[in-house]
Structure 1
Amino acid sequence: MPKERKMLSNWEAPYIQSLMKLIETQSKATLAIWAVDYSERVILQLWCKYYPDDLRPRNALNAAREWLSGTIKLPRAKLAILECHAAAREADGIPVAQAAARTIGQCASTIHSARHCIGLAFYGALAVAYDRLGTDAPWGQIEQCAAEECGRMEAALRATAVEDEPNRAKIDWKC
Structure 2
Amino acid sequence: MAKVRKMLGKADSTYIISLMRLIETQNNNTIIKWCNEYANEYILPIYEKDYPNDLRLKNALNAVNEWLEGKIKLVEAKKFIKEVQVAAREAEKKPAAQAAARAIGATTATINTVTSSLGLAFYGAASIAYSSVGVNEQAYVYDEIAAKECKKMEEALRKIAIIDEPNPAKINWYC
- The TM-score with structure 1 as length reference comes to 0.97
Cα pair 2:96 2:130 within 8 Å, conserved: yes
Q: Counterpart of 2:79? A: 79
Aligned amino acid, residue 99 of structure 1: A
In the TM superposition, what whole-angstrom CA distance separates every residue of 1:103-151 from its partner, at most 9, and x where no partner exists?
1111111111111111110100111011111110111101101110101
| Between 28-37 and 2-11, the greater mean CA deviation after superposition | 2-11
Q: Counterpart of 1:39? A: 39
Task: Please list, as runs of the form range in 1=range in 2, the aligned pairs for 1:1-175 lying within 5 A after superposition.
Answer: 2-174=2-174
Gaps of 5+ in 1: none
Aligned amino acid, residue 55 of structure 1: L
Gaps of 5+ in 2: none
Take 2:88 and 2:95, find their aligned partners in 1: how far apart are those partners? Answer: 10
Cα pair 2:9 2:16 within 8 Å, conserved: no
Take 2:110 and 2:166, find their aligned partners in 1: how far apart are those partners? Answer: 19
Cα pair 2:34 2:156 within 8 Å, conserved: yes
In the TM superposition, what whole-angstrom CA distance separates every residue of 1:13-70 from its partner, at most 9, and x where no partner exists?
1110110010000001000000000000000000000000000000000000011011
Take 1:60 and 1:128, find their aligned partners in 2: how far apart are those partners? Answer: 20
Q: Which runs of 4+ in 1 moved over 6 A?
A: none
Q: 1:155 offset after TM fit, Å?
A: 0.2
Aligned amino acid, residue 22 of structure 1: L
Take 1:170 and 1:78, find their aligned partners in 2: how far apart are those partners? Answer: 21
Cα pair 1:103 1:124 within 8 Å, conserved: yes
Cα pair 1:129 1:143 within 8 Å, conserved: no
Take 2:82 and 2:121, find their aligned partners in 1: how far apart are those partners? Answer: 20
- The TM-score with structure 2 as length reference comes to 0.97
Cα pair 1:8 1:126 within 8 Å, conserved: yes
Take 2:73 and 2:167, find their aligned partners in 1: how far apart are those partners? Answer: 22
Take 1:158 and 1:125, find their aligned partners in 2: how far apart are those partners? Answer: 18
Alignment length (residue pairs): 175
Take 1:37 and 1:170, find their aligned partners in 2: how far apart are those partners? Answer: 22
RMSD: 1.0
What is the DSSP-based 3-state SS (H/G/I as helix, E as strand, rest coil) of the residue aligned with 1:93? coil
Q: 1:84 offset after TM fit, Å?
A: 0.8
Take 2:129 and 2:156, find their aligned partners in 1: how far apart are those partners? Answer: 18
Take 1:132 and 1:164, find their aligned partners in 2: how far apart are those partners? Answer: 37
